[in-house]
Amino acid sequence: MSSEKNDMELPDSTVNIRRIVPVERPLRCVWTSHPDREHCCHSLIPAQTVTTAWRRELELGRACAGFFHFAWHGHVWLAYGMPDGGVRGVYCPTHRAEREQRLGYDPELVLRVAAGYAV
């Protein structure tokens, strides 16, 4: 055996194969209190959680893009889903409630609807 061939062979103990798994970044609440975006919310939610909730909406017959409510860990979030199954943005429970109060939504109705679709 030539020395060149021996240099190319590695003992079994040094072989380390790792499986690469893509990791989705969590979604951050899109709320901001200022046009320069210096005062942003830092609430995060796993992207897969939101996507799963939106896909369930689509399976239940939702045919167009739009806002939808879903419950996660006992709190109601608001997100914007796209027809292709993707999610464009999310509001944390605190900023969802502020937004809905500002728009005149009935908070009890929102909570009842979201409770039926808890993740």
DSSP, residue by residue, the chain: --HHHHHH---GGG---------PPPEEB--BSSTTS-SB---EE-HHHHHHHHHHHHHTT--S-EEEEEEETTEEEEEEE-TTS-EEEEE-HHHHHHHHHHHT--HHHHHHHHHTTB-
Per-residue pLDDT of the chain (119 residues; tens, 9 = 90+): 555 555 555 555 555 566 776 678 999 999 977 666 678 899 999 999 999 999 999 999 887 899 999 999 999 999 999 999 999 999 999 999 999 888 888 766 666 665 555 55
Domain positions in the chain:
24-115
Task: Encode pLDDT of 39-54 as tens digits.
Answer: 889 999 999 999 999 9
